[in-house]
Amino acid sequence: MGGGGCGGGCAPVHNGAMNQPDATGSLPSSPVSHLPTPPNRLTRLLGMALPIVQAPMAGSQGSDLALAVCAAGGLGSLPAATLAPAALQAELKRLQTEARGPYNVNFFCHAPPPFEPAREARWQQLLAPLYDEMQLPMPTGPAVAARAPFTAEVADLLEPFRPPVLSFHFGLPSPALVARLKSWGSKIMSSATTLEEGLWLQEHGADVVIAQGLEAGGHRGMFLSTDLGTQVGTLALVQQLRDQLQVPVVAAGGVADASGVAAARALGADGVQVGTAYLLCPESATLPLHREALCGAGVHETALTNLFTGRPARGVVNRFMRELGGHSVGMCEHAPAFPLATTHMAPLRSHAEAQGSGEFSPLWAGQNAARSAALHARYAQGGMPAGELTRLLATGWG
């Protein structure tokens, strides 16, 4: 477990304040009870009690968080994009044995990028002054893809477990693979960032479409366009998708508490997927310096950046994003394609983190991260437990 939460120096923190409502009254006055919400087409399809999906968050959580959310009646998710086969197998065994209710396993399906020597050379040139400042040797050799897309081999590994739900970012696997996953009963979800992507996902077999608004923390799931000008806020996207799709639509991006859930429901969403708000839970593996950033004054300033991996993702603005960003903070036309940008960035990150600095780390967070921090700040240590957060969010469904 990660621990830490906002108890490590973030204000305001009150000992034993679990039962205190906040200024907006959005937290019930006693530990949140398991409020049954009437089943809807999303909960009937996926089998969970509450229309709350805990967003998979690669690098920030494992099965601890997913299990806690499942136990509370939500859909817990395991991010698998960065897991080696043995680690994935161990996590799947644990979920299969211990999960109360259905769970979700999440993968990326990006096309592996070509290696572009000229772009790589320009990137290294841009990073060179930082290597000099930190007195580090620039790694030699080609960039390495640290995140692999979903393949038939991964499907082989999954098959004995037949996870109840599988979700994807950056599109879907091939039609043959989608058919195979569905043949053993898994339900398929994927993120859409535009109406066009939502229609594409439905046509290619998604049982549920996640409407990932521009507010969302982490990587944009965009896959039909690389133009950030196409990206839509959660409010507009949920309504556009709900109007045009037949499959259930899950709102993601900026939902941080019960009032956000109520808003998503009012817009016509069938459920919500929440990421940033779970980062401060004790069951998350969020790094201490990431937790600090989420509780700090700078949390109001988030931006999209392609500097850490090569794909746009939203995080708290730090020095790396400010200095390497081009026309807009965090975005650089010379960053190698996803996920190759990570190779030459990673040593800078490790070095800075060893000094206790998050100025070169991806501090993924959505635009409503401050709201999440305010909820967790009431807990003396370790943040609000994930089960309680899940039940709190569900109170917004009514």
The string of DSSP codes covering 43-102 is HHHH--SSSEEEPP-TTT--HHHHHHHHHTTSBEEEE-TT--HHHHHHHHHHHHHH-SS-
Query: Residue 309 interacts with ligand FMN (CB under 6 A)?
Result: no
Asked if omega into 288 is within 30° of 0 (cis), the reply is no
Q: What is the maximal distance between C-alpha atoms in the chain?
A: 60
Q: Looking only at residues 155 through 174 of this chain, which bind ligand FMN when binding is defined by CB under 6 A?
A: 169
Pick the piece of the chain touching ligand FMN (CB under 6 A) from 64-72, 86-94, 213-221, 344-352.
Answer: 213-221
> Looking at the DSSP assignment, which residues form a beta bridge with residue 8?
none
Distance of CA 80 to the CA centre of its chain: 12
Query: Residue 364 interacts with ligand FMN (CB under 6 A)?
Result: yes
Binds ligand FMN by CB under 6 A, chosen from 70, 216, 337, 374: 216
Contacts of residue 65, Cβ cutoff 8 Å, sequence gap at least 6: 54, 76, 278, 281, 283, 284, 285, 386
Asked if omega into 114 is within 30° of 0 (cis), the reply is no
Q: Is 173 helix (H, G, I), strand (E, B) or coil?
A: coil
Pick the piece of the chain touching ligand FMN (CB under 6 A) from 10-18, 86-94, 270-278, 332-340.
Answer: 270-278
208-212, strands of its sheet edge to edge: 52-54, 271-274, 249-252, 208-212, 187-192, 165-169, 103-108, 76-79
Binds ligand FMN by CB under 6 A, chosen from 105, 238, 252, 280: 252
Query: Residue 273 interacts with ligand FMN (CB under 6 A)?
Result: yes
Site string for ligand FMN, 100-139 (x = CB under 6 A): ------x---------------------------------
Query: Residue 254 interacts with ligand FMN (CB under 6 A)?
Result: yes
Q: Looking only at residues 177 through 196 of this chain, which bind ligand FMN when binding is defined by CB under 6 A?
A: 191
Pick the piece of the chain touching ligand FMN (CB under 6 A) from 51-59, 95-103, 301-309, 318-326.
Answer: 51-59
Q: How many residues bind ligand FMN (CB under 6 A)?
A: 29
Q: Are 6 and 295 in contact (CB under 8 A)?
A: yes
Query: Residue 318 interacts with ligand FMN (CB under 6 A)?
Result: no
Query: Residue 358 interacts with ligand FMN (CB under 6 A)?
Result: no
Min dist. Cβ of residue 180 to ligand FMN (A) = 20
Query: Residue 218 interacts with ligand FMN (CB under 6 A)?
Result: yes
Pairing of strands 187-192, 103-108: unpaired
Q: What does residue 201 show for φ and ψ, rounded to 5 degrees?
A: -65, -45
Residues lying near ligand FMN in the complex (CB under 6 A) are found at: 55-58, 60, 79, 81, 106, 169, 191, 212, 215-219, 252-255, 273-276, 279, 364-366, 368
